[in-house]
Structure 1
């Protein structure tokens, strides 16, 4: 019986193949070289690998798979990955392409072998969430203790291992960017063993977990951002490949993209994204890190930057500049803007190249750099190597998959805070000179242990984070909030004292605990932002498919509700009055006598409950209509906003100069929608009321205004 082998046996053999392929100039030469290589492997019996251990957890299958049973007679591609790794994400499109080209009946089966880097990644539910999030449709085995990883002597993520129909080693590819060679190896292996009659056409039982899930409003929301002036939220609904814009009360204002992935500019009905993450919103402008399309997108859905995984310096304009897996964005200022405006730059956490980039929205320059024209996208910090290296020179510093950004431009901070996920640290990037320093997390000697992580000790490097993905700066409190994703907690850092402590979350990946900070639960929260002048936090609780609101005064956590109806398509001048809710208060007023050409003024006093205030950013409004007697008004429906209740609303309308039917008894209908919230809390309520005002038409003309006083207490 042949002994079982590992990659150390294969590497010397394949190195000769790789060298020959590098020198080949034509496709036919490459195919001939690979075919000869496969013939030589047929003569060896020392390349069979060990089977999967029994008792392992499997996903997307009807049961466990074995190289000696279900996978016998198949060419098997093993993808050794861990779900946090950006390079592992980059090869998923290559695997999807192979799956579309070759089915199990053709003889190819792809198996994902999940070998965890962090303790959190060993948990089956977390791996299952990642399989759903990345739309992986092939079998995945949770090799939580890395048995097969060690048996084959795999050394890094991602590693691809192609096996023949006897479970024998054929090829190995390490890292990303091998699509052409992977396709060549797979195609020729299928052809080689198919010609020998060694491939079997049976199917492998696939059972996708996603098919059993009910629909949800959000799917793996990655990031959330606040427009502080207009008090709206932008939510990256990553799993639905779209971005939502909502009011602070949860009213759905705009839906861009989704539900399927795509790469299309255009209006709301045409635009599409592929797993968007970072969002930044200001006024009518929205910026989106379209992560898996390797683009930065802008409101109106025009493309600013393009696709590549190889350029690491930048300097090109707009779509001509290749970028790689932008994970977060935030607005800021670099140097002096020629137009004198603030926010002349969009900072980008470029996870794919382990760098921080700058996209200039106006002419400006980086510290100690040359002038950059509007639209230029350049690297600011990071060598491009994946490492945890601090340095006074930004280009010599090293990041490890930066995934969250927060700007703190005010003195004495004057920096960008960076959630450096793979080094499990929070870093600072000085706005004055680009110096990169450690704030909390990581390791005292990162060259010895670049991937340091764990729980919740509280100070500097002793504050162990585990794959943080989001940071949010509160200038009102001078505090930094952190989405400590794999610890399932929200933490707070005082940058002055370097103290880091848990703010909310038990550390259990769940959504079943109580509403208080110390009993609340999250599941890999990936995004966080500060709202209401530092009083609340919005958290993208990614694996719970929710946005949560943390009230910093009451220390409670609540679910942020999002309406299912979008108001984006409502015309500015409606042709009929909107429908009132059934709970609306309704009052019919005594008739009032009016004449042709007379101006009628309705004075409406509204009183809110004690201890509440009008929600300024919510769409409180009124409408005046005359259903069935539209001739009374200049427009079918007259509308107005309610901005201030300290004095009565004054709504006036002038009757037509000529009224043909003096015997008519028309009605005017005044409807109001009022949003208000507690002065000390974040809960917002909506109440509606409707007033019917009958009119009696008089033949005697009158020029003076007539005023009707109405009042309502909510």
Structure 2
């Protein structure tokens, strides 16, 4: 409801005057001329008899990043306000955020400026407050956000697209509107002159708005919004885009980190691993110790050389590009929000698969292993709604001449945001493609594309570039609202904003991260039948006994590993990598721990240990009987590990213990080799010599035990955490030898 005496209005009332202003600005040469034109415009619209006041925020709306709900005519009175109408899946809305961050850096609420995000959802999943909270954390939004779930304010002001900015004066009066992205200069011009205009009239107030950032309540986690995951099939490692921590992890199959590259803060820097930085990386692809990364918010493709331990840039210039053709050398070619990458082969190598077997064998004998060489990096360019290619070697694309190594160019997609299929790749239209997977074997020979905004999965032929529909979406190429959660065939199947796909060449099946339905779907491309493989549809984190009763929360990426047995899922909003066993139909969580190089034996000051793992909340706590000891004496703890029948400690996994002392600065740590529990007599032992310079005569020892074990055939891995608490009295009186304390870990 509008404030007393205020009538609601729409954007159409501003359109004629603002259009005249923008035409005049095109002819202005100097900054002084532009400033003067905007100032004169404000004098005109500020004195209108026509009421341009906006309605009050409806009561009962949910607010984030604030101490309480905000009123237009109480809290925002005396402020120049930028209303950002957005929905968190929209790539154009994401592109606008750096402009808003820069504006907030230039002006604060005490200067008289406030930005308010008005979240008006496209998808039903985006109306849920917890999901908006996750998006606010992912994109580091620090201004107030209101959940306009029913789009009431959107409709009242006749907003028609995402994103739309509406700039208000200090009386809640509309001044300007900016539709779409790419208006940074106008945004800064309009807001700065509006602040000056109303300050000259004494109408700006410097009161602060009560801000309470949701991100301050975020718990510590080894992973933060992981976006994509891929498998190194040679060395059995995983590469994880730890998107929220702005880093890339190379992880052994047991969860132990081999390399952590980048993070924890966003940045853009090449060089040694210790100094390199990323900004919300998403897609990752690995081959021969080289990782390529879709460094999404830096608008770059980065290359990680694991042997040299170096990061370099191979495509992009570091700012968002608008070029929809490409063709320049990679590091000179502007690109826009690359979201996924996958290796493939140029047309020469692909075309041989359409030949007869005898001819293929003859070519293979003539060219050797080079026939199998992956010489193209395919890119899901979400920002321009296209599929691009980066040439890792000289090669050809369909209907293209020979291309030089390092060339980066458009392969498919007009650049229009559409769900348009076409036999000519440049006439097809995508809508924020966000996931790629390649099927090189005959008869598929295609890229599978998770086309998120059309809620469809599409295919792009590697032989001629033809773009075809597989499942989801709808026939009208302009309708991007055909979404749902329906198992079915082809267009009768419905998805909701899928973000990831991976091809299972063992079974000839495609797996889909159906993100906003919180499910993993499986598609038979031969029949176009799409069914639910795992997930209840609830956005939660339940590790059930099988696929159907386990849950996910906006899974964003997935990949096949272990010869087709395991499906790894980047369960983004649960901050986990889930492991799905396609043979046993069970789900587990990949434990992610620090690297072996961080493991240091012996006591040292606690502040030197910065990566102590946290026990899960479900870990049992066991309090032991108090013991007394003198400085110099040794206290021993024997771990008795009673593993479940038919299981063993994971080979090479970092099963470990940590001993710390409350009241003293002690910290011991060590690993539990798998060979140490073959018999009861050889149980692992923790030895602590009481230091001579204790800070306190009383302490409580905390012994955290992390055990990683697997089934006898290593097909499923599990983790168990236990906390033992040992009260300790330190006395100057010499004590007799202290019998070992048994720590029994029962499963």
1:17 is matched with 21
Aligned counterpart, 1:208: 213
1:265, 1:303 within 8 Å by CA — same for their partners in 2? yes
Which residue does 2:664 correspond to in 1? none
Q: Please name the residue that 2:457 is paired with.
A: 426
Name the CA distance, whole Å, in 2 between partners of 1:528 and 1:366.
27
Q: Are the aligned partners of 1:515 and 1:558 in contact in 2 as well (CA < 8 Å)?
A: no
Task: Tell which structure's C-alpha radius of gyration is larger.
Answer: 1
Distance, in Å, in 2 between the alignment partners of 1:222 and 1:233 is: 13
Deviations 1:214-256 (A, max 9, x none): 2111110000000111110000010010011001111110000
Q: What aligned pairs does 1:195-594 form with structure 2 within 5 A after superposition?
A: 195-299=200-304, 300-306=310-316, 307=318, 308-336=320-348, 342-447=373-478, 449-512=479-542, 514-563=544-593, 565-567=594-596
CA distance in 1, matches of 2:650, 2:302: 31
Write out per-residue CA displacement over residues 240-274 of structure 1, whole angstroms, 9 at most, x where no aligned residue. Answer: 10011001111110000000000000111100000
Deviation at 1:619, TM superposition (A): 8.2
- Is the partner of 1:250 in helix, strand or coil? coil
Deviates more, 1:253-262 or 1:41-50: 41-50
Residues 117 and 146 of structure 2 are in contact (CA less than 8 Å); yes or no, is this contact kept in structure 1?
A: yes
**Could you give the per-residue CA deviations for residues 113-163 of structure 1, whole angstroms, max 9, x where no partner exists?**
000001110111111110111000000000000001000000000000000
2:133 match:
128
Partner SS state of residue 426, structure 1: strand
Contact 1:236 1:244 in 2 (8 A): yes
Q: Alignment partner for residue 152 of structure 2, among 126, 143, 147?
A: 147
Aligned to 2:738: none
Deviates more, 1:550-559 or 1:391-400: 550-559
Aligned mate of 1:65, from 70, 76, 82: 70
Find 2:107's aligned residue among 79, 93, 102: 102
Name 2:44's counterpart in structure 1: 40
Please tell me whether the aligned partners of residues 254 and 568 of structure 1 are also in contact (alpha carbons under 8 angstroms): no
Contact 1:297 1:303 in 2 (8 A): yes
Are residues 112 and 474 of structure 1, via their aligned partners in 2, closer, same or farther at CA, if it must alter by over 3 Å?
A: same
Verify the 8 A CA contact 1:677 1:685 in the aligned structure 2. no
Q: What CA distance in whole angstroms lies between the structure 2 residues aligned with 1:456 and 1:513?
A: 23
3-state SS of paired residue (1:173):
strand
Query: Is 1:4 the counterpart of 2:8 in the alignment?
Result: yes
Q: Which 10-residue stretch deviates more, 187-196 or 369-378?
A: 369-378
Query: What is the Cα deviation at residue 454 of structure 1?
Result: 0.4
Aligned to 2:689: none
SS across alignment from 1:481: strand
Cα 1:615/1:280, change in 2 over 3 Å: farther
Q: Which residue of 2 aligns with 1:657?
A: none
**How do 1:607-646 residues align onto structure 2 when only pairs under 5 Å count?**
none
Residues 337-382 of structure 1 show CA distances to partners (whole Å, capped at 9, x for unaligned) of: 7965511011000000000001111111111211111111111000
Query: What is the Cα deviation at residue 515 of structure 1?
Result: 3.4
Per-residue CA deviations over 1:586-632 (Å, capped at 9, x if unaligned) read: xxxxxxxxxxxxxxxxxxxxxxx99889989x689xxxxxxxxxxxx
C-alpha displacement of 1:450: 2.6
Alignment RMSD: 2.7
Q: 2:35 aligns with which of 13, 31, 37?
A: 31
TM-score using structure 2 length: 0.78
- Does the aligned pair in 2 maintain the 1:611–1:679 contact within 8 Å? no
Cα distance in 1 between the residues matched to 2:439 and 2:515: 22
CA distance in 2, matches of 1:674, 1:102: 51
SS at match of 1:203: coil
- Distance in 2 (alpha carbons) for counterparts of 1:674 and 1:515: 19
Report matched runs for 1:74-93 at 5 Å: 74-93=79-98
Q: Which residue of 1 aligns with 2:668?
A: none
Whole-angstrom distance in 1 between the partners of 2:645 and 2:330:
53
Q: Which has the higher helix share?
A: 2
Q: Could you tell me which residue of structure 2 aligns to residue 194 of structure 1?
A: 199
Does the 8 A contact of 1:254 with 1:567 survive in 2? no
Report how far residue 209 of structure 1 moved.
1.0
Aligned partners of 2:96 and 2:714: how far apart in 1?
Answer: 49
Partner residue of 2:715?
681
Q: Which one is further off, 41-50 or 395-404?
A: 41-50
CA contact (8 A) 2:647 2:709 kept: no
1:661 match = none
Q: Would the aligned equivalents of 1:254 and 1:566 in 2 still touch at CA under 8 Å?
A: yes
Partner-residue secondary structure (3-state), 1:275:
coil
Distance 1:570 1:513 in 2: 29
The CA distance in 2 between the partners of 1:340 and 1:518, in whole Å, is 41
> What is the alpha-carbon distance in structure 1 between the residues aligned to residue 708 and residue 454 of structure 2?
48
Residues 613, 679 of structure 1: 8 Å contact kept: no
The number of residues matched between the two structures is: 605
Deviation at 1:41, TM superposition (A): 1.3
Change (3 A) 1:474 1:4: same
CA contact (8 A) 1:104 1:203 kept: yes
Moved more, 454-463 or 216-225: 454-463
Change (3 A) 1:582 1:546: farther
Name the structure 2 match of 1:664. none
Give the 3 Å change call, closer, same or farther, for CA 315–613 of structure 1 in structure 2.
Answer: farther
Distance in 2, matches of 1:612 and 1:410, equals: 38
TM-score by length of 1: 0.81
* SS of equivalent to 2:221: coil
Cα distance in 2, alignment partners of residues 179 and 534 from structure 1: 47
Alpha-carbon distance in 1 for matches of 2:198, 2:718: 66
